[in-house]
Amino acid sequence: MELRLQDIVEALQGKCLNPNRFDNNIVQSISTDSRQVGYRSLFIPLKGGNFDAHQFIPHVFDKGAIATLTEEDIVKDERLCTIYVENTNEALLKLAQYYRSLFKIPIIGITGSVGKTSTKEIIAAVLSAKFNVHKTVGNYNNEIGLPLTLFNLEKHHEVAVIEMGMNHFGEIHRLSLTASPQIAVITNIGSSHIENLGSREGILKAKLEILDGLDKSGLFIINGDNDLLSTIKQVPFKMLKYGLKEEQDYYAKNIVSEADRTTAEVFTPKANYKIAISALGEHMIYNTLAAIAIAERLELTEEEILTGLASYQPSQMRMHIKTYENGITIMDDTYNASPESMQAALRVLKNYPTSSRKIAVLGDMLEMGSYATVLHEQVGQFASLENIDLICTVGELAKHIYNGVNNTSANTKVVYYATKEEFLSEIQNIFQIGDTILFKASRGMHFEEMVEEVGKVNYDEK
């Protein structure tokens, strides 16, 4: 990137406290972390409830910074061009909005309770068959990560796929205004963050904030099979719906998951496709439908769409399947969890082709608030009906999954472990060669640590 300091001051309506530093005026990177400041950086010191990065301003010049923003009307280091703004957190979004405006390329914004990242990845894979694609990396989808993603746009990029996450009302609104997408996608409305948003209807309201920054001639794409999204009848944008029902604009039939791939027939207003993707589960077909809708909007050919789909590979900790040397197969879906993604993962385990035991290791789903008990119990009730040989529940809230399994008439074997340590101490007695094991919990449970340990142990063949 290249931004003139004078343009930064103007875009932020700020004030340079030492204009004599304008002589060294081209910024080539932007950082909010003093440890990651690079060559010709602008440092943006953010403030939060428990931190204030202004204290690091005197240390960033020696790491390559040439300028800093500040909320304090003083120059802490005369070597840095110091730009005063009222609020550095707001300035980060405002500057990203300005930088994004310099690029006349399609931007796709994606939000939803479940499947944002997988949908982003498959959209990016498909579009890469024709375009040079920029995309959100990792979980850079909040009010810090999204601006940093936009700052990484370069002249060679032809399209960008941007993920938008949130915990509270107003966050998607600000992210959408910053990214100004031409295409907005909502994958579904589930129960994630219901603790902060009060109800699923509240979650719908928060997700619809993505329309606040959508270009006036933009396209709005939604999962028409979702019970709440299906209630949206009219918006001031062209709207397309996708799903497994023939009433949707984009729909799929004859879905089959086998080995390490899923096949289906896809029907669109323009064409019919026979597709194959390297991922398991009906939910991945929903993500694929969104990708195909966008690809057709951007005029990819059928050959380009199929080539892009063939290039898709699931990310680590997102239904990543691996057979270890000790003879067990692990489905690592530990990146995050909600009731909806729990159910989707359990369906994948149920349908996975194996002649040996199928085991689910399920942990706490966080940020459920007062709904935590009933939502965990509902997951247990669902799991009990999926023909799984053994369900291991791990964690304080997972006790309610255990209760949900036991409160059904199904004769499903279920055990409970209060802690990961307690579970790991028993794994030699739990698993055996040939088992297929699903691990699923919220990110804060760090179940990936258990996956690593379970993959190391030598088990008996029983």
pLDDT digits (tens, 9 = 90+) for 128-138: 999 999 999 98
82, 273, 283 from 135: Cα distances, Å = 31, 25, 21
Residues 150 and 296 placed together within one structural domain of the fold: yes
Residue 340 covered by a domain: yes
Judge whether 222 and 188 are in contact, CB under 8 Å. Answer: no
Is the same domain home to 20 and 152?
no
Nearest to residue 267, comparing CAs of 237, 238, 247, 281?
Answer: 247
Average of per-residue pLDDT across 106-118:
94
Q: What CATH number should be reported for the domain holding residue 276?
A: 3.40.1190.10
Query: Do 307 and 327 fall within a single domain?
Result: no
Statement: residue 178 has pLDDT above 70: yes
Confidence of residue 139 (pLDDT cuts 50, 70, 90): confident
pLDDT tens-digit readout, 252-282: 999 998 878 899 999 999 999 999 999 888 9
Residue 93 included in any domain: no
For residue 21, the model assigns a pLDDT of: 85
Q: Which is nearest to 282 in space by CA: 370, 349, 197, 359?
A: 349
| Total count of domains within the chain | 3
In the listed set 29, 58, 85, which residue is the last one of a domain according to the structure? 85
User: What CATH number should be reported for the domain holding residue 395?
Assistant: 3.90.190.20
Please check whether residues 25 and 49 belong to one and the same domain: yes
Amino acid at 98: Y
Position 462 scores a pLDDT of 66
The two three-digit tokens of residue 179, written as one number: 């990214």
Domain extent, residue 417, equals 320-454
Q: Which two tokens stand for residue 418?
A: 């209060």
pLDDT in tens, 52-104: 999 999 999 999 999 999 999 999 999 999 999 999 999 999 999 999 999 99
Position 146 in a domain: yes
C-alpha 108/C-alpha 183 separation (Å) is: 5
Average confidence score pLDDT of the chain = 94
Overall average pLDDT of the 397-407 stretch = 96
Q: 289 and 170: one domain? A: yes
Q: What is the pTM of this model?
A: 0.87
CATH at 71: 3.40.1390.10
Residues 112 and 234 in one domain: yes
**Domain end marker among 85, 119, 134:** 85
Distance, CA of 17 to chain centre: 39
Asked if residue 305 and residue 330 are part of one domain, the reply reads: no
pLDDT confidence of 303, banded at 50, 70, 90? very high
User: Residue 96 domain-assigned?
Assistant: no
**pLDDT > 90? residue 194:** no
Does residue 404 fall inside a structural domain?
A: yes
Residue 338 lies in a domain: yes
Answer yes or no: do 304 and 334 share one domain: no
With a pLDDT cut of 90, the percent of the chain lying above it is 83
Are residues 132 and 63 part of one domain?
Answer: no
Q: Which of 25, 45, 48 is nearest to 37 (CA)?
A: 45
| H, E, C per residue of the chain | CCEEHHHHHHHHCCEECCHHHHHCCEECEEECCHHHCCCCEEECCCECCCCEHHHHHHHCHHHCEEEEEECCCCCCCCCCEEEECCCHHHHHHHHHHHHHHCCCCCEEEEECCCCHHHHHHHHHHHHCCCCCEEECCCCCCCCCHHHHHHHCCCCCCCEEEEECCCCCCCHHHHHHHHHCCCEEEECCCCCCCHHHHCCHHHHHHHHHHHHHHCCCCCEEEEECCCCCHHHCCCCCCEEEEEECCCCCCEEEEEEEEECCEEEEEEECCCCEEEEEECCCCHHHHHHHHHHHHHHHHCCCCHHHHHHHHHHCCCCCCCCEEEECCCCCEEEECCCCCCHHHHHHHHHHHHHCCCCCCEEEEEECCCCCHHHHHHHHHHHHHHHCCCCCCEEEEECCCCHHHHHHHHCCCCCCEEEEECCHHHHHCCHHHHCCCCCEEEEECCHHHCCHHHHHHHCCCCCCCC
Those residues with Cβ within 8 angstroms of residue 345's Cβ, 6 or more apart along the chain or in another chain: 281, 319, 331, 333, 438, 440
Q: Within a domain: residue 212?
A: yes
**Res. 23 pLDDT band, cuts 50 70 90:** confident
**Residue 139 to residue 125: CA distance in whole angstroms:** 17
> How distant is the alpha carbon of residue 37 from its chain centre?
26
Which of 42, 57, 85 is the last residue before a domain boundary? Answer: 85
Do 328 and 283 belong to one domain? no
**Is there a single domain that holds both residue 15 and residue 66?**
yes
* Any domain includes 132: yes
Is the domain of 56 the same as that of 171? no
pLDDT at 195 over 80: yes
